[in-house]
Amino acid sequence: MISNRKINWITVIVDRGKGEKAASVFKEHHQELLLITRGHGTASSAIKDCLGLDEPEKDLVIGIVDETAAKRILSALHETLELGKPGYGIVFTISLTGISAAASRILEAALPEGDPLTVTDYYKEVRLMSDTIRYELIAAVINTGLSAPIMDAARNAGCKGGTLVKAREVGTVDSKKLFGLTLSNEKEILLILVPHTDKQEVLKSICETVMKETGEHAIAFSLPVDEVAGLSTLVK
């Protein structure tokens, strides 16, 4: 028998230094499947020039929790991080269709006694998708240094802002060697939350801009988002 309980991936994006505060909310609810990474915001060039600012640094806190805990954590994050105030942060959840046995055991240990997550070694839950999903997460893998023109194009298509995460390619034919060491191409992952109705236009703008700037096709995809907080400025 497999439990019908859903598993959620929660991502919190806040200003640098507030990641630990967000992580403490998860720990207060006994959720230990956590990662913290660093990213950068995508303030427009005009705003940065006017204020003399660099890209705002961000903390990304990523956790995996069961749906019951997700609702409590989302509410606690909203209150603790004051997400009702513009610019204080963004939180979103995405339903997962499977987790490993090790992850399942960690989540089960966090549940109240007598409330098992699953009795199998592998949890899998199939979810029918709906056209009524309100937001989507767009992820685009781009060359370092291209974020400004790509974000300008995305804003023209209805996007309000995004977050950049540093990355690098591994094992590609384009890797170069210097003094016998392999140097992989640096990349950035651009994460953008958009209303479902704007998804196609934003994706199209990103792809067209990458083609114009590099002559290559873009690697980009979107994921449906279940719950959001801190996105009042995105609602039209």
Domains and CATH numbers, the chain: 7-110 (3.30.70.120), 135-171+181-229 (3.30.70.120)
pLDDT in the model for residue 235? 42
Which whole number is the average pLDDT over 17-37? 90
Q: How confident is the model at residue 179 (pLDDT cuts 50, 70, 90)?
A: low
> In whole numbers, what is the pLDDT of the chain averaged over residues?
78
> With helix as H, strand as E and coil as C, how does 188-236 read?
EEEEEEEEHHHHHHHHHHHHHHHHHHHCCCCEEEEEEECEEECCHHHCC
pLDDT in the model for residue 40? 81
pLDDT for residue 125 is more than 90: no
pLDDT in the model for residue 231? 62
Tell me the whole-structure pTM to 2 decimals.
0.72
DSSP states along the chain: ------EEEEEEEEETT-HHHHHHHHHHTT---EEEEEEEE---HHHHHHHT--PPEEEEEEEEEEHHHHHHHHHHHHHHTTTTSTTS-EEEEEEESEE-HHHHHHHHHHSPTT--S-SSSSEE------TT--EEEEEEEEETT-HHHHHHHHHHTT----EEEEEE--S-TT-EEETTEEEPPEEEEEEEEEEGGGHHHHHHHHHHHHHHHHSS--EEEEEEE-EEES-GGG--
pLDDT in the model for residue 166? 84
Which has more confidence, 119 or 155?
155
- The tens digit of pLDDT for each residue in 217-232 reads 888 999 999 888 886 5
User: Percent of the chain beyond pLDDT 70?
Assistant: 74
pLDDT for residue 233 is more than 60: no
pLDDT in the model for residue 181? 53
